[in-house]
Structure 1
Amino acid sequence: MLLIDTHSHIFSEEFDTDRETVLKRAAEVGVQYHILPNIDSSSTNRLLDTCNRFPQCFPLMGLHPTSVRNGFEREIYHVEEQLAKNKFWGIGEIGIDLYWDKTYFIQQQEAFRHQLRLAKKLNLPVVIHSRNSFREIFDIVDQEIDNTLKGVFHSFTGTIDDYKHIDQYKTFLVGIGGIVTYKNGGVGGLVNQMDPNKIILETDSPYLSPVPVRGRRNESYNLIYIADKVAELLGVTVEQVAKQTTQNAVKLFKLQIDEIG
Protein backbone atom coordinates (compact mmCIF):
# COMPACT_ATOMS: atom_id res chain seq x y z
CA MET A 1 0.00 0.00 0.00
CA LEU A 2 1.37 3.37 -1.04
CA LEU A 3 0.22 6.66 0.49
CA ILE A 4 1.28 10.26 -0.09
CA ASP A 5 1.03 12.89 2.62
CA THR A 6 0.12 15.82 0.37
CA HIS A 7 0.56 18.50 3.03
CA SER A 8 3.28 18.24 5.66
CA HIS A 9 5.48 20.76 7.45
CA ILE A 10 8.11 18.17 8.36
CA PHE A 11 10.71 20.90 7.87
CA SER A 12 9.39 22.85 10.86
CA GLU A 13 11.22 23.16 14.17
CA GLU A 14 8.84 20.70 15.82
CA PHE A 15 10.71 17.89 14.03
CA ASP A 16 14.29 19.05 14.56
CA THR A 17 15.08 16.28 17.04
CA ASP A 18 13.55 13.30 15.20
CA ARG A 19 12.83 14.20 11.56
CA GLU A 20 14.48 11.11 10.09
CA THR A 21 12.76 8.84 12.60
CA VAL A 22 9.38 10.38 11.80
CA LEU A 23 9.85 9.75 8.08
CA LYS A 24 10.92 6.16 8.68
CA ARG A 25 7.93 5.58 10.96
CA ALA A 26 5.60 6.89 8.24
CA ALA A 27 7.16 4.62 5.62
CA GLU A 28 6.38 1.59 7.79
CA VAL A 29 2.65 2.11 7.16
CA GLY A 30 3.06 2.98 3.47
CA VAL A 31 3.41 6.76 3.66
CA GLN A 32 6.41 6.88 1.36
CA TYR A 33 6.20 10.42 -0.06
CA HIS A 34 5.54 13.87 1.32
CA ILE A 35 4.60 17.19 -0.26
CA LEU A 36 5.95 20.19 1.65
CA PRO A 37 4.34 23.62 1.18
CA ASN A 38 6.36 26.69 2.06
CA ILE A 39 5.30 29.40 4.52
CA ASP A 40 7.43 32.47 3.71
CA SER A 41 11.04 33.52 3.20
CA SER A 42 11.95 32.57 6.77
CA SER A 43 11.10 28.90 6.12
CA THR A 44 12.60 28.49 2.65
CA ASN A 45 16.06 27.32 3.73
CA ARG A 46 14.61 24.76 6.14
CA LEU A 47 12.26 23.54 3.41
CA LEU A 48 15.01 23.13 0.81
CA ASP A 49 17.47 21.60 3.26
CA THR A 50 14.87 18.99 4.25
CA CYS A 51 14.05 18.10 0.65
CA ASN A 52 17.72 17.91 -0.30
CA ARG A 53 18.37 15.53 2.55
CA PHE A 54 15.24 13.42 2.03
CA PRO A 55 14.42 12.84 -1.66
CA GLN A 56 10.99 11.44 -0.76
CA CYS A 57 9.98 15.04 0.07
CA PHE A 58 8.73 17.32 -2.72
CA PRO A 59 8.93 21.08 -2.07
CA LEU A 60 6.37 23.73 -2.99
CA MET A 61 7.03 27.48 -3.02
CA GLY A 62 4.57 30.13 -1.94
CA LEU A 63 3.57 32.80 0.56
CA HIS A 64 1.15 31.71 3.29
CA PRO A 65 -1.71 34.19 3.85
CA THR A 66 -0.94 34.61 7.54
CA SER A 67 2.53 35.85 6.55
CA VAL A 68 1.07 38.61 4.36
CA ARG A 69 1.68 42.09 5.79
CA ASN A 70 2.36 45.57 4.47
CA GLY A 71 5.27 45.29 2.11
CA PHE A 72 4.35 41.73 1.17
CA GLU A 73 5.68 42.47 -2.31
CA ARG A 74 9.17 41.64 -1.01
CA GLU A 75 7.94 38.19 -0.07
CA ILE A 76 6.35 37.75 -3.49
CA TYR A 77 9.67 38.68 -5.08
CA HIS A 78 11.31 35.98 -2.95
CA VAL A 79 8.77 33.43 -4.23
CA GLU A 80 9.45 34.39 -7.84
CA GLU A 81 13.20 34.34 -7.28
CA GLN A 82 13.05 30.84 -5.79
CA LEU A 83 10.82 29.52 -8.56
CA ALA A 84 13.33 30.76 -11.11
CA LYS A 85 16.30 28.94 -9.61
CA ASN A 86 14.97 25.79 -7.91
CA LYS A 87 12.69 22.90 -8.83
CA PHE A 88 9.28 23.06 -7.17
CA TRP A 89 6.23 20.89 -7.71
CA GLY A 90 3.59 23.52 -7.05
CA ILE A 91 2.82 26.91 -5.56
CA GLY A 92 1.70 26.88 -1.97
CA GLU A 93 0.55 27.28 0.40
CA ILE A 94 -1.40 30.35 -0.69
CA GLY A 95 -4.87 31.70 -0.05
CA ILE A 96 -6.81 33.82 2.41
CA ASP A 97 -7.10 33.36 6.17
CA LEU A 98 -9.76 35.38 8.00
CA TYR A 99 -9.69 33.33 11.19
CA TRP A 100 -6.78 34.94 13.01
CA ASP A 101 -6.72 38.48 11.69
CA LYS A 102 -8.58 40.46 9.01
CA THR A 103 -6.22 43.45 9.13
CA TYR A 104 -4.44 42.57 5.89
CA PHE A 105 -7.40 41.20 3.96
CA ILE A 106 -6.78 43.46 0.96
CA GLN A 107 -3.11 42.50 0.87
CA GLN A 108 -4.04 38.81 1.18
CA GLN A 109 -6.32 39.15 -1.83
CA GLU A 110 -3.57 40.78 -3.86
CA ALA A 111 -0.95 38.19 -2.88
CA PHE A 112 -3.36 35.34 -3.62
CA ARG A 113 -4.33 36.61 -7.05
CA HIS A 114 -0.70 37.29 -7.97
CA GLN A 115 0.33 33.75 -7.02
CA LEU A 116 -2.58 32.21 -8.92
CA ARG A 117 -1.43 34.04 -12.03
CA LEU A 118 2.13 32.93 -11.39
CA ALA A 119 0.94 29.34 -11.18
CA LYS A 120 -0.87 29.65 -14.50
CA LYS A 121 2.19 31.15 -16.13
CA LEU A 122 4.43 28.33 -14.87
CA ASN A 123 1.80 25.58 -15.29
CA LEU A 124 2.07 24.55 -11.64
CA PRO A 125 -0.73 23.43 -9.30
CA VAL A 126 -1.66 25.59 -6.30
CA VAL A 127 -2.32 24.55 -2.72
CA ILE A 128 -5.02 26.80 -1.29
CA HIS A 129 -5.43 27.66 2.39
CA SER A 130 -9.05 28.72 2.91
CA ARG A 131 -9.71 29.17 6.62
CA ASN A 132 -12.96 31.12 7.16
CA SER A 133 -12.63 32.41 3.60
CA PHE A 134 -14.32 30.16 1.03
CA ARG A 135 -16.52 32.94 -0.33
CA GLU A 136 -13.63 35.37 -0.62
CA ILE A 137 -11.45 32.77 -2.33
CA PHE A 138 -14.21 31.73 -4.72
CA ASP A 139 -14.64 35.38 -5.73
CA ILE A 140 -11.05 35.42 -6.96
CA VAL A 141 -10.78 31.89 -8.38
CA ASP A 142 -14.03 32.41 -10.31
CA GLN A 143 -12.30 35.28 -12.10
CA GLU A 144 -8.96 33.49 -12.62
CA ILE A 145 -10.09 29.97 -13.50
CA ASP A 146 -9.10 28.64 -16.91
CA ASN A 147 -7.78 25.36 -18.29
CA THR A 148 -4.31 26.04 -16.88
CA LEU A 149 -5.31 26.73 -13.26
CA LYS A 150 -5.39 23.61 -11.12
CA GLY A 151 -4.77 22.65 -7.53
CA VAL A 152 -6.24 21.59 -4.21
CA PHE A 153 -8.22 23.21 -1.42
CA HIS A 154 -6.15 21.88 1.44
CA SER A 155 -7.61 20.80 4.77
CA PHE A 156 -11.15 21.07 3.44
CA THR A 157 -13.63 22.24 6.09
CA GLY A 158 -16.39 23.63 3.91
CA THR A 159 -20.01 22.74 3.30
CA ILE A 160 -21.39 20.50 0.58
CA ASP A 161 -22.14 23.66 -1.41
CA ASP A 162 -18.48 24.68 -1.08
CA TYR A 163 -17.45 21.25 -2.35
CA LYS A 164 -19.82 21.52 -5.30
CA HIS A 165 -18.40 24.95 -6.15
CA ILE A 166 -14.89 23.49 -6.15
CA ASP A 167 -16.05 20.54 -8.23
CA GLN A 168 -17.37 22.91 -10.89
CA TYR A 169 -13.81 24.09 -11.51
CA LYS A 170 -13.05 20.56 -12.86
CA THR A 171 -9.32 20.95 -12.20
CA PHE A 172 -9.36 21.22 -8.39
CA LEU A 173 -9.26 18.57 -5.69
CA VAL A 174 -9.96 18.69 -1.95
CA GLY A 175 -7.45 17.70 0.70
CA ILE A 176 -8.90 15.58 3.50
CA GLY A 177 -7.03 15.63 6.79
CA GLY A 178 -7.44 14.82 10.46
CA ILE A 179 -10.63 16.84 10.85
CA VAL A 180 -12.49 14.04 9.03
CA THR A 181 -12.00 11.92 12.17
CA TYR A 182 -13.48 14.52 14.53
CA LYS A 183 -16.98 13.80 15.78
CA ASN A 184 -18.11 17.40 15.23
CA GLY A 185 -15.66 18.32 12.46
CA GLY A 186 -18.38 18.45 9.81
CA VAL A 187 -16.29 16.88 7.06
CA GLY A 188 -17.10 13.25 7.85
CA GLY A 189 -20.72 13.71 6.81
CA LEU A 190 -19.69 15.00 3.38
CA VAL A 191 -17.07 12.50 2.21
CA ASN A 192 -19.60 9.99 0.90
CA GLN A 193 -20.94 12.74 -1.37
CA MET A 194 -17.50 13.42 -2.87
CA ASP A 195 -16.00 11.99 -6.04
CA PRO A 196 -13.06 9.74 -4.99
CA ASN A 197 -11.20 11.05 -8.04
CA LYS A 198 -11.23 14.49 -6.41
CA ILE A 199 -9.78 13.54 -3.00
CA ILE A 200 -6.20 13.56 -1.75
CA LEU A 201 -5.04 12.86 1.80
CA GLU A 202 -2.93 15.05 4.08
CA THR A 203 -1.88 15.50 7.69
CA ASP A 204 -0.91 19.20 7.84
CA SER A 205 1.60 17.97 10.40
CA PRO A 206 2.49 19.00 13.03
CA TYR A 207 -1.09 20.33 13.25
CA LEU A 208 -4.59 18.79 13.25
CA SER A 209 -3.79 15.33 14.58
CA PRO A 210 -6.55 12.83 13.86
CA VAL A 211 -8.36 10.63 16.34
CA PRO A 212 -7.01 8.54 18.11
CA VAL A 213 -3.92 10.76 18.59
CA ARG A 214 -5.70 14.11 18.73
CA GLY A 215 -3.92 16.59 20.97
CA ARG A 216 -0.45 15.27 20.20
CA ARG A 217 2.02 16.47 17.59
CA ASN A 218 0.78 15.31 14.21
CA GLU A 219 3.06 13.39 11.85
CA SER A 220 2.77 11.55 8.55
CA TYR A 221 2.37 8.13 10.19
CA ASN A 222 -1.09 9.32 11.22
CA LEU A 223 -2.20 9.49 7.59
CA ILE A 224 -3.20 5.85 8.03
CA TYR A 225 -5.94 6.90 10.46
CA ILE A 226 -7.25 9.41 7.94
CA ALA A 227 -7.18 6.84 5.14
CA ASP A 228 -9.02 4.33 7.35
CA LYS A 229 -11.74 6.86 8.14
CA VAL A 230 -12.19 7.88 4.50
CA ALA A 231 -12.44 4.20 3.53
CA GLU A 232 -15.10 3.66 6.18
CA LEU A 233 -17.10 6.66 4.99
CA LEU A 234 -16.87 5.65 1.33
CA GLY A 235 -17.60 2.00 2.06
CA VAL A 236 -14.45 0.72 0.40
CA THR A 237 -11.14 -0.80 1.53
CA VAL A 238 -8.27 1.30 2.77
CA GLU A 239 -6.20 -0.18 -0.06
CA GLN A 240 -8.65 1.25 -2.57
CA VAL A 241 -8.47 4.66 -0.90
CA ALA A 242 -4.68 4.54 -0.92
CA LYS A 243 -4.52 3.61 -4.59
CA GLN A 244 -7.01 6.25 -5.73
CA THR A 245 -5.73 9.15 -3.62
CA THR A 246 -2.13 8.36 -4.53
CA GLN A 247 -3.00 8.37 -8.23
CA ASN A 248 -4.84 11.67 -7.75
CA ALA A 249 -1.83 13.27 -6.05
CA VAL A 250 0.67 11.98 -8.61
CA LYS A 251 -1.47 13.35 -11.44
CA LEU A 252 -2.02 16.76 -9.84
CA PHE A 253 1.59 17.40 -8.83
CA LYS A 254 3.16 15.44 -11.72
CA LEU A 255 5.27 13.53 -9.25
CA GLN A 256 8.07 11.32 -10.46
CA ILE A 257 7.51 8.15 -8.49
CA ASP A 258 8.90 4.80 -9.61
CA GLU A 259 6.09 2.76 -8.06
CA ILE A 260 3.52 4.60 -10.18
CA GLY A 261 5.52 4.83 -13.41
Structure 2
Amino acid sequence: MIETHAHIYDQQYLDDLDEMLHRAWQAGVTEIWMPNCDDATIGPMLEIADANPGKCLPMIGLHPCYVNDRFESQIRVVEEWLGKRKFIAIGEIGMDLFWDKTYRQEQEAAFLYQCELALQHHLWIDIHSREAFHETVKLIEKVGNPALTGIFHCFTGNLDEARIAIDLGFKLGIGGVATFKNGGLDAVLPHIDPVHVVLETDSPYLAPVPLRGKRNEVAYIDLVAQRVADLMQMKKEDLIRQTTANARSLQRA
Protein backbone atom coordinates (compact mmCIF):
# COMPACT_ATOMS: atom_id res chain seq x y z
CA MET A 1 0.00 0.00 0.00
CA ILE A 2 0.99 3.61 -0.59
CA GLU A 3 0.04 6.00 2.20
CA THR A 4 -0.58 9.18 0.23
CA HIS A 5 -0.95 11.65 3.11
CA ALA A 6 0.54 11.44 6.62
CA HIS A 7 2.13 14.05 8.87
CA ILE A 8 4.56 11.63 10.46
CA TYR A 9 6.88 14.48 11.46
CA ASP A 10 4.23 15.64 13.93
CA GLN A 11 5.32 15.98 17.55
CA GLN A 12 2.85 13.27 18.53
CA TYR A 13 5.37 10.75 17.13
CA LEU A 14 8.45 12.13 18.87
CA ASP A 15 8.64 9.25 21.33
CA ASP A 16 7.84 6.31 19.05
CA LEU A 17 8.46 7.27 15.42
CA ASP A 18 10.58 4.21 14.66
CA GLU A 19 8.05 1.87 16.24
CA MET A 20 5.21 3.55 14.37
CA LEU A 21 7.07 3.19 11.07
CA HIS A 22 7.80 -0.48 11.82
CA ARG A 23 4.10 -1.11 12.34
CA ALA A 24 3.39 0.60 9.01
CA TRP A 25 5.87 -1.56 7.11
CA GLN A 26 4.50 -4.65 8.85
CA ALA A 27 0.99 -3.68 7.73
CA GLY A 28 2.12 -3.71 4.10
CA VAL A 29 2.78 -0.02 3.55
CA THR A 30 5.64 0.48 1.09
CA GLU A 31 5.71 4.27 0.85
CA ILE A 32 4.55 7.17 3.02
CA TRP A 33 3.96 10.49 1.29
CA MET A 34 4.45 13.45 3.61
CA PRO A 35 2.67 16.78 2.99
CA ASN A 36 4.30 19.94 4.29
CA CYS A 37 2.59 22.70 6.31
CA ASP A 38 4.96 25.69 6.50
CA ASP A 39 8.65 26.52 6.90
CA ALA A 40 8.72 25.08 10.43
CA THR A 41 7.79 21.57 9.29
CA ILE A 42 10.28 21.30 6.43
CA GLY A 43 13.25 20.39 8.62
CA PRO A 44 11.58 17.58 10.60
CA MET A 45 9.97 16.23 7.42
CA LEU A 46 13.24 16.13 5.47
CA GLU A 47 15.04 14.50 8.39
CA ILE A 48 12.60 11.59 8.19
CA ALA A 49 12.86 11.49 4.39
CA ASP A 50 16.66 11.32 4.54
CA ALA A 51 16.55 8.56 7.16
CA ASN A 52 14.09 6.53 5.05
CA PRO A 53 15.08 7.08 1.40
CA GLY A 54 12.55 5.81 -1.10
CA LYS A 55 10.05 5.04 1.65
CA CYS A 56 9.14 8.39 3.26
CA LEU A 57 8.73 10.88 0.43
CA PRO A 58 8.31 14.64 1.00
CA MET A 59 6.09 17.24 -0.61
CA ILE A 60 6.68 20.97 -0.37
CA GLY A 61 4.01 23.64 -0.03
CA LEU A 62 2.19 26.11 2.19
CA HIS A 63 -0.93 24.73 3.93
CA PRO A 64 -3.90 27.14 3.71
CA CYS A 65 -4.33 27.22 7.50
CA TYR A 66 -0.82 28.71 7.73
CA VAL A 67 -1.52 31.48 5.20
CA ASN A 68 -1.54 35.03 6.57
CA ASP A 69 -0.66 38.53 5.37
CA ARG A 70 2.99 37.50 5.13
CA PHE A 71 2.40 34.43 2.99
CA GLU A 72 4.68 35.68 0.21
CA SER A 73 7.77 35.02 2.33
CA GLN A 74 6.58 31.46 2.97
CA ILE A 75 6.05 30.93 -0.76
CA ARG A 76 9.61 32.11 -1.40
CA VAL A 77 10.82 29.39 0.98
CA VAL A 78 8.87 26.83 -1.05
CA GLU A 79 10.47 28.12 -4.26
CA GLU A 80 13.94 28.01 -2.74
CA TRP A 81 13.51 24.39 -1.68
CA LEU A 82 12.28 23.40 -5.12
CA GLY A 83 15.67 24.51 -6.39
CA LYS A 84 17.55 22.45 -3.80
CA ARG A 85 16.13 18.93 -3.90
CA LYS A 86 13.47 16.64 -5.30
CA PHE A 87 9.90 16.61 -3.98
CA ILE A 88 7.09 14.36 -5.16
CA ALA A 89 4.38 17.06 -5.15
CA ILE A 90 3.35 20.56 -4.16
CA GLY A 91 1.31 20.19 -1.00
CA GLU A 92 -0.55 20.44 0.97
CA ILE A 93 -2.13 23.51 -0.57
CA GLY A 94 -5.68 24.70 -1.03
CA MET A 95 -8.47 26.54 0.74
CA ASP A 96 -9.81 26.27 4.29
CA LEU A 97 -12.86 28.37 5.13
CA PHE A 98 -13.89 26.30 8.14
CA TRP A 99 -11.80 27.90 10.87
CA ASP A 100 -11.27 31.44 9.63
CA LYS A 101 -12.12 33.43 6.49
CA THR A 102 -9.86 36.38 7.38
CA TYR A 103 -7.21 35.49 4.82
CA ARG A 104 -9.43 34.15 2.07
CA GLN A 105 -7.89 36.36 -0.62
CA GLU A 106 -4.40 35.43 0.54
CA GLN A 107 -5.34 31.74 0.48
CA GLU A 108 -6.55 32.11 -3.09
CA ALA A 109 -3.36 33.90 -4.14
CA ALA A 110 -1.15 31.33 -2.41
CA PHE A 111 -3.02 28.45 -4.04
CA LEU A 112 -2.87 29.92 -7.54
CA TYR A 113 0.84 30.69 -7.25
CA GLN A 114 1.62 27.20 -5.99
CA CYS A 115 -0.40 25.66 -8.83
CA GLU A 116 1.87 27.53 -11.21
CA LEU A 117 4.91 26.22 -9.34
CA ALA A 118 3.57 22.70 -9.77
CA LEU A 119 3.20 23.18 -13.50
CA GLN A 120 6.66 24.73 -13.81
CA HIS A 121 8.27 21.82 -11.97
CA HIS A 122 6.07 19.09 -13.52
CA LEU A 123 4.63 18.09 -10.15
CA TRP A 124 1.10 17.20 -9.05
CA ILE A 125 -0.69 19.00 -6.21
CA ASP A 126 -2.09 17.72 -2.93
CA ILE A 127 -5.23 19.70 -2.15
CA HIS A 128 -6.64 20.57 1.26
CA SER A 129 -10.21 21.78 0.79
CA ARG A 130 -12.39 22.28 3.85
CA GLU A 131 -15.73 24.06 3.49
CA ALA A 132 -14.27 25.33 0.22
CA PHE A 133 -14.71 22.64 -2.44
CA HIS A 134 -16.40 24.78 -5.07
CA GLU A 135 -14.15 27.74 -4.32
CA THR A 136 -11.14 25.49 -4.90
CA VAL A 137 -12.62 24.12 -8.12
CA LYS A 138 -13.09 27.66 -9.45
CA LEU A 139 -9.41 28.35 -8.81
CA ILE A 140 -8.38 25.17 -10.63
CA GLU A 141 -10.58 26.23 -13.53
CA LYS A 142 -8.97 29.67 -13.41
CA VAL A 143 -5.55 28.06 -13.83
CA GLY A 144 -7.11 26.33 -16.81
CA ASN A 145 -4.31 23.88 -17.53
CA PRO A 146 -5.24 20.20 -17.98
CA ALA A 147 -1.70 19.25 -16.96
CA LEU A 148 -2.58 20.30 -13.41
CA THR A 149 -3.51 17.13 -11.57
CA GLY A 150 -3.24 15.56 -8.12
CA ILE A 151 -5.31 14.49 -5.13
CA PHE A 152 -8.26 16.02 -3.33
CA HIS A 153 -6.92 14.97 0.07
CA CYS A 154 -9.42 13.84 2.71
CA PHE A 155 -12.29 13.89 0.26
CA THR A 156 -15.61 13.95 2.09
CA GLY A 157 -17.88 15.47 -0.54
CA ASN A 158 -21.01 14.16 -2.19
CA LEU A 159 -21.26 12.20 -5.44
CA ASP A 160 -21.64 15.28 -7.62
CA GLU A 161 -18.52 16.80 -6.07
CA ALA A 162 -16.63 13.54 -6.53
CA ARG A 163 -17.49 13.57 -10.22
CA ILE A 164 -16.40 17.21 -10.55
CA ALA A 165 -13.02 16.41 -9.00
CA ILE A 166 -12.60 13.35 -11.22
CA ASP A 167 -13.56 15.28 -14.36
CA LEU A 168 -10.85 17.81 -13.48
CA GLY A 169 -8.32 14.96 -13.52
CA PHE A 170 -7.90 14.51 -9.78
CA LYS A 171 -7.85 11.45 -7.54
CA LEU A 172 -9.95 11.22 -4.38
CA GLY A 173 -7.88 10.75 -1.22
CA ILE A 174 -9.94 8.50 1.07
CA GLY A 175 -9.10 8.06 4.73
CA GLY A 176 -10.65 7.32 8.10
CA VAL A 177 -13.85 9.26 7.39
CA ALA A 178 -14.91 6.34 5.17
CA THR A 179 -15.28 4.28 8.35
CA PHE A 180 -17.40 6.87 10.21
CA LYS A 181 -21.09 6.07 10.62
CA ASN A 182 -22.16 9.48 9.32
CA GLY A 183 -19.12 10.15 7.15
CA GLY A 184 -21.23 10.16 3.98
CA LEU A 185 -18.82 8.22 1.79
CA ASP A 186 -21.06 5.16 1.85
CA ALA A 187 -23.29 7.12 -0.57
CA VAL A 188 -20.35 8.00 -2.84
CA LEU A 189 -17.79 5.22 -3.11
CA PRO A 190 -20.14 2.49 -4.42
CA HIS A 191 -20.74 4.70 -7.48
CA ILE A 192 -17.09 5.59 -8.20
CA ASP A 193 -14.67 3.59 -10.31
CA PRO A 194 -11.78 2.56 -8.03
CA VAL A 195 -9.33 3.88 -10.62
CA HIS A 196 -10.05 7.34 -9.16
CA VAL A 197 -9.23 6.53 -5.51
CA VAL A 198 -6.07 6.60 -3.42
CA LEU A 199 -5.67 5.68 0.25
CA GLU A 200 -4.48 7.87 3.11
CA THR A 201 -4.73 8.27 6.89
CA ASP A 202 -3.93 11.97 7.47
CA SER A 203 -2.06 10.76 10.56
CA PRO A 204 -2.06 11.77 13.36
CA TYR A 205 -5.62 12.96 12.65
CA LEU A 206 -8.90 11.20 11.79
CA ALA A 207 -8.22 7.71 13.10
CA PRO A 208 -10.63 5.17 11.62
CA VAL A 209 -13.26 3.22 13.52
CA PRO A 210 -12.81 1.44 15.95
CA LEU A 211 -9.94 3.77 16.94
CA ARG A 212 -11.75 7.04 16.31
CA GLY A 213 -10.67 9.76 18.72
CA LYS A 214 -7.23 8.23 19.31
CA ARG A 215 -3.94 9.19 17.69
CA ASN A 216 -3.98 7.96 14.14
CA GLU A 217 -1.00 6.20 12.56
CA VAL A 218 -0.04 4.87 9.16
CA ALA A 219 -0.64 1.18 9.92
CA TYR A 220 -4.33 1.94 10.35
CA ILE A 221 -4.57 2.46 6.58
CA ASP A 222 -5.36 -1.26 6.49
CA LEU A 223 -8.68 -0.50 8.21
CA VAL A 224 -9.39 2.18 5.62
CA ALA A 225 -8.57 -0.22 2.79
CA GLN A 226 -10.96 -2.84 4.15
CA ARG A 227 -13.81 -0.35 4.49
CA VAL A 228 -13.28 1.12 1.03
CA ALA A 229 -13.11 -2.38 -0.45
CA ASP A 230 -16.36 -3.31 1.29
CA LEU A 231 -18.11 -0.19 -0.02
CA MET A 232 -16.83 -0.82 -3.53
CA GLN A 233 -17.68 -4.52 -3.30
CA MET A 234 -14.12 -5.61 -4.02
CA LYS A 235 -11.61 -7.87 -2.41
CA LYS A 236 -9.24 -5.86 -0.23
CA GLU A 237 -6.18 -7.11 -2.11
CA ASP A 238 -7.70 -5.96 -5.42
CA LEU A 239 -8.52 -2.56 -3.95
CA ILE A 240 -4.97 -2.21 -2.63
CA ARG A 241 -3.51 -3.21 -6.00
CA GLN A 242 -5.66 -0.64 -7.81
CA THR A 243 -5.11 2.26 -5.40
CA THR A 244 -1.36 1.62 -5.43
CA ALA A 245 -1.39 1.79 -9.24
CA ASN A 246 -3.44 5.00 -9.02
CA ALA A 247 -0.87 6.59 -6.73
CA ARG A 248 1.96 5.47 -9.02
CA SER A 249 0.23 7.11 -11.98
CA LEU A 250 0.62 10.48 -10.25
CA GLN A 251 4.35 9.94 -9.94
CA ARG A 252 4.54 9.35 -13.68
CA ALA A 253 2.25 12.25 -14.61
Letter in 1 for 2:137: F
1:119 corresponds in structure 2 to 118
Distance in 2, Cα, partners of 1:137 & 1:237: 33
1:162 corresponds in structure 2 to 161
Distance in 2, Cα, partners of 1:165 & 1:191: 14
2:143 corresponds in structure 1 to 144
Distance in 1, Cα, partners of 2:217 & 2:160: 30
Shift of 1:253: 2.4
1:27-70 CA distance string (max 9 Å, x none): 11101210000000011100100100112100000000000001
Distance in 2, Cα, partners of 1:85 & 1:149: 22
More deviation in 143-152 or 181-190? 143-152
Distance in 1, Cα, partners of 2:124 & 2:37: 16
Instruction: Tell me the matched-pair count.
Output: 252
Shift of 1:147: 2.9
Shift of 1:215: 0.9
Letter in 1 for 2:173: G
1:259 corresponds in structure 2 to none
Distance in 2, Cα, partners of 1:45 & 1:182: 34
Letter in 1 for 2:135: E
Letter in 2 for 1:238: K
Identity of aligned residues (%): 42
Shift of 1:254: 3.7
Secondary structure class of the residue paired with 1:91: strand
Secondary structure class of the residue paired with 2:203: coil
Contact 2:159 2:187 in 1 (8 A): no
1:195-235 CA distance string (max 9 Å, x none): 21110000000000000111110000100000000110111
1:197 corresponds in structure 2 to 195
1:249 corresponds in structure 2 to 247
Distance in 2, Cα, partners of 1:13 & 1:83: 25
Shift of 1:12: 1.1
Letter in 1 for 2:237: E
Alignment partner of 2:23 out of 1, 22, 25: 25
Letter in 2 for 1:12: D
Contact 1:89 1:254 in 2 (8 A): no
Distance in 2, Cα, partners of 1:145 & 1:58: 28
More deviation in 65-74 or 145-154? 145-154
Shift of 1:139: 0.9
Alignment partner of 2:40 out of 39, 42, 45: 42
RMSD of Structure 2 on Structure 1 (CA): 1.0
Q: Does 1:8 align with 2:6?
A: yes
Secondary structure class of the residue paired with 1:96: strand
Shift of 1:168: 1.3
1:52 corresponds in structure 2 to 50
Distance in 1, Cα, partners of 2:233 & 2:159: 19
1:104 corresponds in structure 2 to 103
Gap regions ≥5 residues in structure 1: 256-261
TM-score (normalised: structure 1):
0.95
1:154-179 CA distance string (max 9 Å, x none): 0001111111111211x210100000
Secondary structure class of the residue paired with 1:70: coil
Mapping for residues 187-226 of structure 1, pairs under 5 Å: 187-226=185-224
Contact 1:180 1:188 in 2 (8 A): yes
Distance in 2, Cα, partners of 1:253 & 1:153: 15
Distance in 2, Cα, partners of 1:121 & 1:164: 27
2:63 corresponds in structure 1 to 64
1:228 corresponds in structure 2 to 226
1:93 corresponds in structure 2 to 92
Distance in 1, Cα, partners of 2:146 & 2:198: 20
Gap regions ≥5 residues in structure 2: none
1:168-197 CA distance string (max 9 Å, x none): 11x210100000000001112210111211
Q: Does 1:131 align with 2:116?
A: no
Shift of 1:142: 1.1
Shift of 1:16: 0.8
